[in-house]
A = this chain, B = another copy of it.
Amino acid sequence: MSSEGVIEGWVSNVKILGKIAFIEVIDGLNLSPITVVVRKDSGSVDWSKVSAVKLGSAIRVKGVYPEKVVSKKGREIHADEIEILAEPRDLPPIDVTGKTPASFEDYINYRYLALRLPRVRAAFLARSLIVNEIRSFFSERGFLEVHTPKIVKAGAEGGATLFEVDYFGVKAYLAQSPQLYKQMLMCGVPRVFEIGPFFRAEKFSTTRHLNESWGLDVEMGFIKGMEDVLEVLSQLVVHLSHKLNERLGDALRGLGYNVIKPVTSVRVLTYDEALEVLNSLGFNLKWGEDFDPKAEKSLGDYLEEKGVQAYFIVDYPWESKPFYIMKKDEKRGYAFDLDIRGIEVASGGQREHRYEVLRQNLLEKGLNPEDFSFYLEAFKYGMPPHGGFGLGIDRLVMTFLGVQNIRETVLFPRDRFRLVP
């Protein structure tokens, strides 16, 4: 049965063959254009208007969805009425037909235009889907969604990678992470999560770092050990990889993305095991050393060949981890990273919840407990054992889509050299 309808979107192609016009329009949040068919003879649409439709215009079409679709692109509407809502005044700086690729920089500079191209659009549909699924995952499991401050007096890691803010004449910083706040909350609610931006003033210029990112932070009280945290994060990765495949897998693959396969379980390696694998691959790493991106990548490739795309590395040397990580023994901490396809996506662990030990940890890291007094205070009044993780949403989307540059997953990325748009 044919039925009436309205579509709204941008003209991505126009072909006029004699007395028929085929206007391709990218409408709604679709990943392929709909073909608007107009017949000169039908008399319902002003033909002079149709033949003058400009590429890139915003239009509204009223018409009929035919019973049988002729166009190869799969969706079609036969126009009864066409309304031009806005025309480009200049030639678009990106080819909106998608035939001529633009530069990587222009896809960022003109992101709003690039979003009409199915490949770019698909990445942000995937991101929106993932964020939405993260939220329902935690809401359904009884986690309280919280918002912690982004302007803070002390950094979580006390490092030098903080952006300074002048807060009414007082020196403040942009939050590197909700770490201290989500831990403090463990003294009053059992489980929290937050989705929000975080800021790191690192002078990196890589394909996997940005200076402003969005993260998921999770903290769980009353845990029996780090395993409780691994279990939740593992379930999350399984859930998200399945949802992405189910909802957008085919479309993304059709657009050239090397999408992650549905993860059935997240492999667990100890730091010692990972070290052994790396050294067997020709690295010459000593116990205690952190893995650099090159080592992470090699380990990722090695495991991907074995069909493992997502894995935990657990029991890191305590020395390489932050003060709030609980020690497992003299050398190791209850700390883990989640790596996906050779890239670190999340890190977490069990936290030190005992006031005196935590204070001692700060001193061992060369930090001044005085600077953390507002945080330490929360550990005095019945702080239960707890643990959690921080996960980079940009990186998660990046590894799930199999793209090489984190900038493909962020609408308006911020790096050392990019503050506009």
Contacts and interface: CB of A to CB of B under 8 A. Distances in A.
A363 interface: no
Interface stretch (A65-73, A148-156, A272-280, A303-311): A148-156
Interface in A373-400: 374-375, 377-378, 380-385
Contact of A58 (B114, B131, B201, B222): B222
A259 B145 CA distance: 21
Interface in A18-74: 27-29, 56-58, 60
A58 B148 contact: no
16 contacts: A8-B222, A27-B190, A58-B384, A85-B384, A86-B353, A89-B380, A92-B382, A110-B377, A115-B185, A125-B144, A128-B139, A146-B411, A150-B199, A165-B165, A185-B411, A374-B421
Contact of A89 (B56, B168, B186, B355): B355
Interface string A140-169: 001011111111110000000001111110
Interface string A172-192: 101000000100111111110
Nearest to A222: B8
Contacts of A89: 355, 380-381
A163 to B, nearest CB: 5
A419 interface: yes
A8 B163 contact: no
Interface of A: 8-11, 27-29, 56-58, 60, 85-90, 92-93, 110-116, 121, 124-125, 127-128, 131-132, 135-136, 139, 142, 144-153, 163-168, 170, 172, 174, 181, 184-191, 196-197, 199, 201, 203, 211-212, 214, 221-222, 353-355, 374-375, 377-378, 380-385, 410-412, 414, 416, 419-421
A371 B288 CA distance: 50
A38 B420 CA distance: 64
Contact of A144 (B29, B172, B188): B29
A147 B57 contact: no
Contacts of A420: 153, 374
A380 B10 CA distance: 13
Contacts of A377: 110, 421
Given A29-B189, A384-B85, A411-B146, A199 B151 contact: yes
Contacts of A86: 353-354, 382-385
Given A56-B381, A184-B421, A189-B29, A197 B150 contact: yes
B383 A58 contact: yes
A410 B9 contact: no
Contacts of A181: 411-412, 421
B222 A411 contact: no
Nearest to A133: B139
CB-CB nearest 4 A-B residue pairs = A115-B188, A58-B384, A374-B421, A8-B222
B92 A148 contact: no
A53 B136 CA distance: 37
A269 to B, nearest CB: 30
Given A86-B383, A197-B197, 6 more contacts: A11-B382, A86-B354, A86-B382, A168-B201, A181-B412, A196-B197
Contacts of A381: 56, 88-90, 92-93, 113
Contacts of A148: 411-412
B111 A188 contact: yes
Given A167-B419, A189-B115, A28 B142 contact: yes
A187 B382 contact: no
Contacts of A167: 163, 211, 419
A153 B114 contact: no
Interface centre among A56, A88, A188, A355 (most CB of B within 10 A): A188
A309 to B, nearest CB: 25
Nearest to A356: B89
